[in-house]
Amino acid sequence: MHHYKDLGLCNTKEMFHKAITGNYAIPAYNFNNMEQLQAIITACIETKSPVILQVSSGARKYANQILLRYMAMGAMEIIKTAGLSLPVALHLDHGDTYELCVSCIESGFSSVMIDGSAHSFEKNIELTKKVVDYAHQYDVSVEGELGVLAGIEDEVSHEASHYTNPDDVEEFVGKTGVDSLAISIGTSHGAYKFKLKPGESAPPLRFDILEEVERRIPGFPIVLHGASSVMPEYVNMINEYGGKMENAAGVPEDQLRRAAASAVCKINIDSDGRLAMTAKIRQVLATKPAEFDPRKYLGPAREELIAMYKHKNEHVLGSAGKA
């Protein structure tokens, strides 16, 4: 057992409490490789932001669970060397089984999501409670989910979204003992969140559902998945340099600012990082076709990621200066 506290990580309890009372949200950025982790850490050091480092089961398979633990330890060492003590959580994104959650906790994760949203309400409660009972023995935070986001949730694919029913949240939170709750209010995963005709803008998120959830469970930490803005500058850059991403659209940043000021205290962003990285790599390879040193395109991609994460912390989530 590698306990997260021995790695210098923290769970999400205090982070969420401060974020709710301070009307901002903690960034939860996914990473799969060294450059993404370096960019997240650098951006959060430079903006003095708390952060949740998020790993999906796909990322865990890709990067290797042992290496991931050492990468998280390395990140904590870099933060310490910078003379800072940023709160950092290592979180399992969309855990789909009890066994996966246990394995992550044993390898040093300080927070896990058990995504039982594909199950019935009763089965979701049963599975989530089982994970909570195990995780809480080690002071590990647990995120549950009610409602279904359209799109792909790891290996679970959903055709349509089902908004969270506010009537369910009190019972779910009470019976499971979860520490935070992901809800569905109109976001979805990936780069194609809305089918928009030219000139059309994205439909607003269902803030009425969010407000009703807040009324039912006052002060309880809410999580927003699928919160990439699908930044048009990166989509355009990808298309300009040989890519093909038609009608990609995300959640407008003003909607995310509004969510961050509410009980939403964790905002999940993965696709924006993928887009920034791909856009920059495409640009370098297209404009410097003779280049073959990976550092010459991964380096600029990492710089672009740093700028993007700093922008999110400073101007969207409001987490800058909160560490």
Q: Does 58 engage in binding with ligand G3H (CB under 6 A)?
A: yes
Q: Does 143 engage in binding with ligand 13P (CB under 6 A)?
A: no
In the window 234-273, what residues touch Zn ion (CB under 5 A)? 268
Contact (Cβ atoms closer than 8 angstroms) between residue 271 and residue 230: yes
Nearer to ligand G3H, 93 or 143 (CB): 93
In the window 24-53, what residues touch ligand 13P (CB under 6 A)? 30
CB of 193 to ligand 13P, least distance (A): 7
Query: How does strand 222-224 pair with strand 180-183?
Result: parallel
Question: Applying CB under 6 A, which of residues 91, 94, 266, 322 lies at the interface with ligand G3H?
Answer: 94
Concerning whether 93 is annotated as a catalytic residue, the answer is yes
Tokens 């949240």, residue located: 169
3-state secondary structure (DSSP) of residue 139: coil
Q: Which of ligand G3H, ligand 13P, Zn ion, none interacts with 59 (beta carbon under 5 to 8 A by kind)?
A: ligand G3H
Phi then psi for residue 249, to 5 deg, are -150, 145
DSSP string computed for 230-286: --HHHHHHHHHTT---TT-B---HHHHHHHHTTTEEEEEE-HHHHHHHHHHHHHHHH
The residue type at 80: K
Question: Applying CB under 6 A, which of residues 71, 114, 269, 284 lies at the interface with ligand 13P?
Answer: 269
| CA–CA gap between residue 275 and residue 268 (Å, rounded) | 15
Nearer to ligand G3H, 35 or 153 (CB): 153
Q: Does 225 engage in binding with Zn ion (CB under 5 A)?
A: yes
Q: Does 193 engage in binding with ligand G3H (CB under 6 A)?
A: no
Instruction: Give the other-Cβ count within 10 Å of 161's Cβ.
Output: 18
Q: Does 314 engage in binding with ligand G3H (CB under 6 A)?
A: no
Question: Binding-site residue total for ligand G3H (CB under 6 A)?
Answer: 10
6, 93, 208, 293: the active-site residue: 93
Contacts of 143 (CB under 8 A, 6+ apart): 12, 91, 111, 112, 113, 114, 178, 179, 180, 181, 182, 223, 266
Query: How does strand 156-158 pair with strand 151-153?
Result: antiparallel
In the window 104-133, what residues touch ligand G3H (CB under 6 A)? none
In the window 266-285, what residues touch Zn ion (CB under 5 A)? 268
Nearer to Zn ion, 268 or 313 (CB): 268
Contact (Cβ atoms closer than 8 angstroms) between residue 75 and residue 110: no
Which of these segments, 241-249, 269-277, 286-294, 307-315, binds ligand 13P (CB under 6 A)? 269-277
Interface contacts to ligand G3H, rule CB under 6 A: 30, 56, 58-59, 93-94, 153-154, 189, 270
Q: Which residues are catalytic?
A: 93
Interface contacts to ligand 13P, rule CB under 6 A: 30, 93-94, 189-190, 225-228, 268-272
